[in-house]
Structure 1
Amino acid sequence: MQFSVTLSVLLLSLTVTTFATPPSTIVDLGYAKYQGNLNNATGNLEFLGMRYAAAPTGTLRWRAPQHPQETPGIQQANTFPDSCWIEGQPGPQPTPPSLLDNGYRQQKRDVSASEDCLFLNIVTPASGAKDLPVVVWIHGGGYLVGNTSTFDGNDLVRQAGGGVVSVTIQYRLGVFGFLAGQKIHDGGALNAGLLDQQFAFQWVQHHIKKFNGDPNRVTIWGESAGAGSVLQHIVANGGHTSPPLFRAAAVSSTYLPPQYAFNDRIPEQRFSEVVQRTGCSSAIDTLACLRQVDVDVFAQINIDLGGTSLFKIPGFVPVVDGILITERPTQLLRQGKVNGQALLSVTNAFEGAIFVDMSTADTVQIPSYLANLFPEFRDAEIIAGTAQYANLGAPIDQAIAIMGESILICPAYFLFRAFGRRGFKAEFAVPPGDHGQDINFYFPSAGPPNFNNTVFINNFAQSFMNFAMSLDPNVKWDPANTVPQWAKWNEQGHNEMVFNKTDAGEPAIHSVTTSTALLERCE
């Protein structure tokens, strides 16, 4: 009897020990082995700073991303990677002197800058659950700044109840990611930053199963320029990317500034300015000269030519390259040419406010504002645009509406019309409803949201994760979620879900119909 009891205790001890062993934290990607870490606070496995492409330096500047070289041994994946924003000095990166959205005025962690920055981070539940939906996050920042250190993938996994794998990616920014012109076309790759993102999506397709993700259930999601990037991939390859790289798309404040052909007047003018500032004007091979310029020179160019102002959209943005982006995105969307099966889009109530200099309230003239915002507008278009906004308050209010609607709000409706009956629309209206204020609801670990109400935070943030898991925010993993029934947006029923709060500080979430006047202005 004593032997039997002792044997039983021993077997129980062995069983407990077996079940308590965490999953392996080493993943073999073929070209490198990475060791992640178990986050004891969240119960998730983190793989931070994994290289997905070769360093885009030297002769690889302005070329399509390349596969990484093999690296021997086991690489530690326990720190956030260097930022793609080039300042030239180690330490926290400055925000250029520009009116960037609120989410990038304070970075969550101090990271150094490097031109070698094509890395991604993965957070996956340590539960060992297989074939989980995947959310790929693309940061914003006007295609000029931003990195993954601000965005903790643990937030997304938590908001999905442990039901997703999160991926956050970096991509070339500013002059390195979006310099355009005929010489870039002839001797390099246009839209290098978009090509980086696409390369990361392909990496996910090849490797995400090793992190318990399902490559057939990928949602790409971004905010501001990240959402603008998502739009670019929706229309990429004429809407027929093969094989598909994602099944669904989510966009928060879709940033769509004027998008010119790569060799139009404005991109060529910007290329000439870069050449002149780098001292490459007299070089026989201009691009070869630019590839030898020190990164610190480009850092100053990013600040001088890339920043936003009252009258200027950032100088380095996507172009129509004729290969990845075959026509202007608005034209492709009108033709219904899209990648992806479903769409979730949120816009903020007052997207344009932080991009308009309020000190010009007494002097701004709308015709001049339109002419500077859209430098290719002709007189007839300026007159029509001025008339369209004439009844929307004082000139400064009209400028705010023009900026917010034309660049950040209307693109959502262009997307919905292309997706037909396959999309859900939301508006974030918690005062003041500025551009970028929704970020901390998705990533509260970066800082407290401006409405720090648990019910609201869960309802709002979980909607994106519910969509990523089932393509429908009405299918909820959390029974405490109280978002009302959410109808799809379509041409017959312009339904939107508004996320707001009452004067008493309680969540106010309800369905409304899109303003007909707004849709007419967008048209």
Structure 2
Amino acid sequence: MRFATLLSTIILLRPSRAVSYSLVSDPIIDLGYGRYQGVYNTTFDQNIFRGIRYATPPTGKLRWQLPQSPEVNRAQVTSAVENPPRCPQSYQAPPDETVDLDTDVLGNEDCLFLNVFTPANATQSPVLVWIHGGGYGAGSAKTYDFASQVHTNKNEYIAVVIQYRLGAFGFLSSAEVARSGVPNAGIHDMRFALEWVQKHIHVFGGDPGRVTIAGESAGGGSVMLLGMANGGSEGTSLFNGVIASSPYLPTQWKYDDILPSQSYYRLAQEAGCLTDQTASTVSIFDCLQTTDTLVLQNASNYISTTGLYGQWAFVPVTDDTLIQCRPTEQLAVKPRTNGIRLLTSNNLNEGPYFVPQTIETETDFLDWLRTTYPLLTPSTLTSVLSYYGLPENFDPSEPYVDSNGLNPPFSTTTSHFGIGWQQAANNLYAETTFVCPSYWLADAFSAQGGKAWKYQFSVPPACHGCDIEPFLNRTNIEGTGINEVLRTTMQRVWGNFVVNGDPGMSALQMADFNGSSESGDNLTAVGAGTWPLWSGGLGGAYGRNGMVNMNMTGGVQVVKEQTLNGQIWELTQYVPGEKDTDPPLEAKTQVVDADSWEGGRRERCRLWVELGPWIME
């Protein structure tokens, strides 16, 4: 989302090592409709193509229509060295004064491109398709360079990074949009890119029968929705595996409900398409299709940033066709999904960046809850309070500490971000929007006879999006609290899932760390055969659903400031100490009971399934 996008832009683009490119053997590929010349990366022994067009520009009369195949252009070889133009950006509310309109918002509607990172000798290699996050309003392919990640996994697979329409351009919805175009245009773009992979990935040495789709935040939510696409009737026609990291599930209204319709009419008003003359001569939809792109881009961002705190105005809807049900219905009640394998995760502190940090009393908590979920009734609010209200013996002087998940105090009442009613709201939003969707996905895949694995990223500050930087950077960046052992482990866990269909690390992979300075690292829980399948029946001290908790121990505590949404956040981290007597920073993994985790998270997720019709999830 916006924080993750900005943080990634700051951190991920910092090279961790010198990278060299060949000027002699740069590869050329022929896609039938066009030829592209990429670049050979000698450091990673990869052919890299950036900015390959997968659809025709969705402009003019193609706004809010299904994506179309690119026009044939074989007159010359197209350079595929530079990153493609980003799609127009729309950010979350409230407005951020640090966002510059020209550099941070404006984009190009002609943005349906993708990047490919392929080993130079790839032959029938499995494929990872990455869908970026950003609240369905922000983000681009530029931020996600997979060259190092693929190389960490011995160049055993190909990575494809796609772009899709964002904000009002990708997720405008109303009855008129459904009549004259398509809601969820951005999801259709993703699916069209997957069809492109099926048709063309063999040219790069990829195997179209071994595709895994992956994403974080809205990207994780996107792969969740693609897993639900067309009622879960597509099987493995487009992908086999799904990796959903912090799958983002905002309220999912029906395409013609009042909230998406209000955003539609607000866009029309800002664009000058809601006038008496317009109503009598041309439809609002037709007017919007002919409106200048800069007007629409500014309007989309304005509407999004002046909406509900922490939210985006334009997000996926239930359209009765591509997305036929709310996730609680299709995943938790009557499981039906595409794909056969799942790896899913959440972070310890997902909620704070999306919740106003001004909640001090039960009244504040209930006011925020009614605003966020306006369909909740007095009786359903009572049910919520029975699960999320503070215990009678709660001590408001408790320290701001992160939960260990196993023993009180739990994240229901305290974290490094807040305590009391503030933390109750932080945790509630985290569970409804990121954590429980991860549980429901794992439940759905397991219930259908598929395989599912789950983990939690708990390395402080364990905020939303904090797991992406180590996932892409293997070499430790100075001043961060994740050593190279855990970075490599995270990357190999994902790589193992893509290549082998199982995230567990082999004994040979574990042996790579023997003799390292981080001799106290404990990676036992992520070993092959140790990491339990979801619903695998752990027995003993564990419940029915086991997951891996990934964390670090040791180091020296530091507090760093991060500004977001007009607030200064103090983020607690643990970094390597400078003294010989400082405890070393070491990776720690353990198998835990996901059902009893955080004082009974499973029961709270069951509550939200029951309240699905009231929270529109």
- Structure 1-normalised TM-score? 0.88
1:513 to 555, 568, 593: 593
Equivalent residue, structure 1, for 2:353: 354
1:265-310 Cα offsets, whole Å, 9 max, x none, are 2111221111122111132311110011122222222322223877
Say yes or no: does 1:486 pair with 2:531: yes
Q: Counterparts of 2:140 and 2:363 in 1: how far apart (Å)?
A: 34
CA contact (8 A) 2:236 2:340 kept: no
**Aligned residue identity for 1:395:** W
Match of 1:406 among 429, 432, 455: 432
Q: Partners of 2:474 and 2:79 in 1: how far apart?
A: 23
CA distance in structure 1 between the partners assigned to 2:233 and 2:81 by the alignment:
37
Does residue 464 of structure 1 match 2:494? yes
Counterpart in 2 of 1:444? 473
- Over the matched positions of the two proteins, sequence identity in percent amounts to 35
Q: What is the DSSP-based 3-state SS (H/G/I as helix, E as strand, rest coil) of the residue aligned with 2:267?
A: helix
Q: Structure 2: which amino acid aligns with 1:489?
A: W
Counterpart in 1 of 2:551?
A: 500
Cα distance in 2 for partners of 1:105, 1:354 equals: 16
Q: Offset at 1:99?
A: 8.7
Kept in 2, the 8 Å contact 1:132–1:163? The answer is: yes
Matched residue SS, 1:324: coil
CA distance 1:362–1:374, change in 2 (3 Å) = closer
Alignment match, 1:11: none
Partners of 1:469 and 1:506 in 2: how far apart?
27
- Structure 2 stretches lacking a partner, 5+ long: 1-21, 391-411, 414-419, 514-522, 538-543, 555-582, 607-617
Deviation at residue 515 of structure 1 after TM alignment: 4.0
Q: CA deviation at 1:210?
A: 0.5
Q: Give distance in 1, aligned partners of 2:99 and 2:359.
A: 22
1:358, CA displacement in angstroms?
2.3
Aligned-partner SS, 1:291 = helix
1:86–1:115 contact (8 Å) kept in structure 2: no
The residue identity in structure 1 corresponding to 2:369 is L
1:144 equivalent to 2:189? Answer: no
Whole-angstrom CA distance in 1 between matches of 2:165 and 2:495? 27
How far apart are residue 243 of structure 1 and its match? 6.5
The 5-angstrom pairing of residues 415-426 of structure 1 reads 415-420=441-446, 422-426=451-455
Correspondence for 2:213: 220
SS in structure 2 opposite 1:317? Answer: coil
Distance 1:254 1:460 in 2: 17
Question: 2-side partners of 1:508 and 1:446: how far apart?
Answer: 18
Change (3 A) 1:96 1:354: closer
Which aligned pairs between 1:338-417 and structure 2 lie closer than 5 A? 338-361=337-360, 365-391=364-390, 392-393=412-413, 394-417=420-443
1:453 aligns with 2:455: no
Secondary structure of the residue that 1:205 maps to in structure 2?
helix
Match of 1:365, SS state, is helix
How far is 1:149 from its partner? 0.5
Residue 67 of structure 1 corresponds to: 69
Mapping of 1:91-106 within 5 angstroms?
Answer: 98=94
- CA drift at 1:460: 1.5
Q: How does 1:255-294 map to 2 (within 5 A)?
A: 255-282=248-275, 283=278, 284-294=282-292
Once the 2 structures are TM-superposed, how far is the Cα of residue 313 of structure 1 from its aligned partner?
2.7
Counterpart residue identity of residue 80, structure 1 = N
- Give the 3 Å change call, closer, same or farther, for CA 206–299 of structure 1 in structure 2: same
Whether 1:40 aligns to 2:39 is no
**Which residue does 1:10 correspond to in 2?**
none
Is this contact kept in 2: 1:220–1:248, CA < 8 A? yes
In 1, Cα distance between the equivalents of 2:484 and 2:358? 37
> Alpha carbons of 1:22 and 1:509: their partners in 2 closer, same or farther (altered >3 Å)?
farther
Q: Which sits farther off after the overlay, 261-270 or 219-228?
A: 261-270
In structure 2, give the amino acid aligned to 1:379: P
Specify whether residues 300 and 375 from structure 1 end up closer, same or farther in structure 2 by C-alpha distance, changes over 3 A only. farther
SS of 1:122's equivalent in the other structure is strand
Could you tell me how far apart the structure 2 residues matched to 1:300 and 1:287 are?
18
Contact 1:97 1:303 in 2 (8 A): no
CA distance in 2, matches of 1:86, 1:42: 32
Deviation, structure 1 residue 380: 2.2
Question: How far apart are the structure 1 equivalents of 2:129 and 2:235?
Answer: 18
Q: Report deviation, 1:60.
A: 0.4
Q: Is the 8 A contact 1:152 1:446 kept in 2?
A: no
Q: Which stretch has the larger CA shift, 461-470 or 390-399?
A: 390-399
* Displacement of 1:86: 4.3
| CA displacement, residues 72-96 of structure 1 (integer Å, 9 cap, x when unaligned) | 2100100000001248xxxxxxx66
Please give the residue correspondences for 1:127-166 in structure 2 after superposition, counting only pairs within 5 Å: 128-166=121-159
Question: What CA deviation, in whole Å up to 9, does each residue of 1:473-506 have, x standing for no partner?
Answer: 1254734264332111117431111110113321
Range 180-189 or range 328-337, more displaced = 328-337
State the alpha-carbon separation in 2 of the partners of residues 270 and 429 from structure 1. 36
Residue 170 of structure 2 is aligned to residue 177 of structure 1: yes
Cα separation, 2, equivalents of 1:185 and 1:327: 16
Q: Residues 111 and 266 of structure 1: is their aligned pair in 2 closer, same or farther, counting only changes over 3 Å?
A: closer
Indicate if the aligned counterparts of 2:164 and 2:170 stay in contact, CA closer than 8 A: yes
For residues 95 and 460 of structure 2, the distance between their equivalents in structure 1, rounded to whole angstroms, comes to: 19
For the 8 Å contact 2:93–2:308, the answer to whether it is kept is: no
Match of 1:474 in 2: 504
Alpha carbons of structure 1 residues 243 and 520: separation in structure 2 relative to 1, 3 Å: closer
Number of matched residues? 491
For 2:512, the aligned partner's letter is: A
| Root mean square deviation of aligned Cα | 2.6
Q: 1:336 and 1:229, CA in 2 relative to 1: closer, same or farther beyond 3 A?
A: same
Instruction: Note the C-alpha offset of 1:61.
Output: 0.3
Equivalent pair of 1:99/1:355 in contact (CA under 8 Å): no
Q: Which residue among 25, 49, 52 is the counterpart of 2:51?
A: 49
Contact 1:138 1:221 in 2 (8 A): yes
Paired with 1:520 and 1:491, the residues of 2 have a C-alpha distance of: 19
Which amino acid in 2 is paired with 1:490? S
1:114-125 paired onto structure 2 within 5 Å: 114-125=108-119
Whether the 8 Å contact between 2:482 and 2:552 is mirrored in structure 1 is no
Aligned to 2:326: 328
Confirm or deny that 1:84 pairs with 2:83: no
* Distance in 2 (alpha carbons) for counterparts of 1:463 and 1:426: 11
The CA distance in 2 between the partners of 1:116 and 1:401, in whole Å, is 39
- Name the SS of the counterpart of 1:354 in structure 2: helix
- Structure 2 CA distance for partners of 1:364 and 1:408, relative to 1, 3 Å: farther
Cα deviation code 1:189-241 (max 9, x no counterpart): 11000000000000000000110111111000000000000000001011012
1:274–1:301 Cα contact (<8 Å) kept: yes
> Counterparts of 2:274 and 2:307 in 1: how far apart (Å)?
27
Q: How far did residue 466 of structure 1 move?
A: 0.5
Task: Output the amino acid matched with 1:496.
Answer: M
Partner of 1:231: 224
TM-score calculated relative to the size of structure 2: 0.75
Match of 2:187 in 1: 194
Structure 1: unaligned runs, 5 residues or longer: 1-19, 88-94
Give the CA deviation at 1:375: 2.1
Alpha-carbon distance in 2 for matches of 1:206, 1:451: 42
CA contact (8 A) 2:198 2:208 kept: yes
In structure 2, the residue corresponding to 1:474 is in which secondary structure?
A: coil
Given that 1:309 and 1:355 are in contact with CA atoms closer than 8 Å, whether structure 2 keeps it comes out as no
Q: For the structure 1 residues 507 and 406, does the alpha-carbon distance in structure 2 shift closer, same or farther, using more than 3 Å as the test? A: same
Bigger drift between 481-490 and 416-425 goes to 481-490
CA positional deviation for 1:52: 0.2
Work out the CA distance in 2 between the residues paired with 1:139 and 1:447: 23
Report the more deviating stretch, 153-162 or 340-349: 153-162
User: SS at 1:206's partner residue?
Assistant: helix
Residues 255 and 79 of structure 1: CA distance in aligned 2, closer, same or farther (over 3 Å):
same
Determine the C-alpha separation between the residues in 2 that align with 1:131 and 1:331.
37
How far does residue 361 in structure 1 lie from its aligned partner after superposition? 4.0
CA distance in 2, matches of 1:432, 1:310: 25
